[in-house]
Structure 1
Amino acid sequence: MEQTKFERFLFKPFIIEAITKELKFFEPTEIQERLIPSILKGESAIGQSQTGTGKTHAYLLPLLNMIEPERKEVQVVITAPTRELATQIYNEAVNVISFSKEAISAKCFIGGTDKQRAIEKLKTQPHIVVGTPGRINDLVREHALNVGKVQTLVVDEADLMLDMGFIKEVDMIAGQMPEDLQILVFSATIPEKLKPFLKKYLENPKFTHVAPKQATAAKIDHVLVPVRHRDRIKLVHDILVNFNPFLAIVFTNTKKAADEVADALIEKGLKIGRIHGDLTPRDRKKMMKQINDLEFQYVVATDLAARGIDIKGVSHVINYELPTTDLDFYIHRVGRTARAGSSGIAVTLFEAADEDALNKLEKLGIEFINRDFVGGEWKDIDDRKRRQKRKKTVDEVDALAKSIVQKPKKVKPGYKKKMSREMEQIKKRKRRLSRKSK
Structure 2
Amino acid sequence: MNFNQLGISEDIVKILKNNGITEPTLVQSESIGLIKNGRDVIVESQTGTGKTLAFLLPIFENISLKIDAVQALILTPTRELALQITQEALKLKQAKDVNILAAYGGKDVGSQLKKLKTGIHLVIATPGRLLDHLERKAIDLSKLKTFVLDEADQMLLMGFKNEVEAIIRETSKKRQTLCFSATINSDVKRLAYRYTKEPLEVTVNKEEVTLDAIKQQVVETTDRKKQDALCIVLNQDNPYMAIIFCRTKRRADELEAALYKRGYNCEKLHSDILQSKRERIMKSFRNGDLQYLIATDVASRGLDISGVSHIYNYDIPESTESYIHRIGRTGRAGEEGYTCLFIDPKDRLRLEEIEKAIKFKIPRRDLGEENNGYK
TM-score, structure 2 as length reference? 0.95
Separation (CA, whole Å) in 2 of partners of 1:165 and 1:138? 17
Pick the aligned partner of 1:335 from 328, 331, 348: 328
The CA deviation at 1:375 is 4.0
Contact 1:371 1:378 in 2 (8 A): no
Greater CA deviation, 289-298 or 5-14?
5-14
**CA RMSD in angstroms, aligned pairs only:** 1.9
Greater CA deviation, 135-144 or 7-16?
7-16
- Residue 221 of structure 2 is matched in structure 1 by 227
Q: Percent identity?
A: 36
Consecutive unaligned residues of structure 1, counting only runs of 5 or more, are 381-438
Runs of 4+ with >4 A deviation:
none
The CA deviation at 1:10 is 2.6
Pick the aligned partner of 1:34 from 30, 53, 65: 30
The CA deviation at 1:322 is 0.3
- Residue 16 of structure 2 is matched in structure 1 by 19
- Residue 259 of structure 1 is matched in structure 2 by 253
1:43 aligns with 2:39: yes
- In structure 2, what residue type is equivalent to 1:134? G
Higher RCO (C-alpha 8 Å, min separation 6):
2
SS at match of 2:294: strand
The CA deviation at 1:230 is 5.4
Separation (CA, whole Å) in 1 of partners of 2:361 and 2:334? 19
Residue correspondence of structure 1 range 107-186 to structure 2 within 5 A: 107-186=101-180
Pick the aligned partner of 2:99 from 87, 105, 108: 105
Separation (CA, whole Å) in 2 of partners of 1:376 and 1:137? 59
Structure with greater Cα Rg: 1
The CA deviation at 1:93 is 0.7
Q: 1:9 to 1:297 in 2, by over 3 A?
A: same
Contact 1:51 1:188 in 2 (8 A): yes
Q: 1:357 to 1:290 in 2, by over 3 A?
A: same
- Please give the per-residue CA displacement for 1:53-92, whole angstroms capped at 9, x wherever unaligned: 2111111111101111111211100011110011000110
Greater CA deviation, 328-337 or 198-207?
198-207
- Residue 56 of structure 2 is matched in structure 1 by 60
- Residue 421 of structure 1 is matched in structure 2 by none
SS at match of 1:277: coil
SS at match of 2:326: helix
The CA deviation at 1:19 is 2.2
- In structure 2, what residue type is equivalent to 1:18? I
Residue correspondence of structure 1 range 241-280 to structure 2 within 5 A: 241-280=235-274
The CA deviation at 1:304 is 2.4
The CA deviation at 1:376 is 8.6
TM-score, structure 1 as length reference? 0.81
- Please give the per-residue CA displacement for 1:100-119, whole angstroms capped at 9, x wherever unaligned: 3xx32111111122222221
- Residue 399 of structure 1 is matched in structure 2 by none
The CA deviation at 1:217 is 2.7
Contact 1:275 1:284 in 2 (8 A): yes
The CA deviation at 1:37 is 1.1
The CA deviation at 1:366 is 3.3
Separation (CA, whole Å) in 2 of partners of 1:104 and 1:112? 24
1:350 aligns with 2:346: no
Separation (CA, whole Å) in 2 of partners of 1:163 and 1:118? 27
- Residue 76 of structure 2 is matched in structure 1 by 80
Q: 1:228 to 1:132 in 2, by over 3 A?
A: closer
SS at match of 2:364: strand
Consecutive unaligned residues of structure 2, counting only runs of 5 or more, are none
Contact 1:275 1:304 in 2 (8 A): no
Separation (CA, whole Å) in 2 of partners of 1:46 and 1:263? 42
Q: How many residues matched?
A: 374
The CA deviation at 1:213 is 4.0
- In structure 2, what residue type is equivalent to 1:15? I
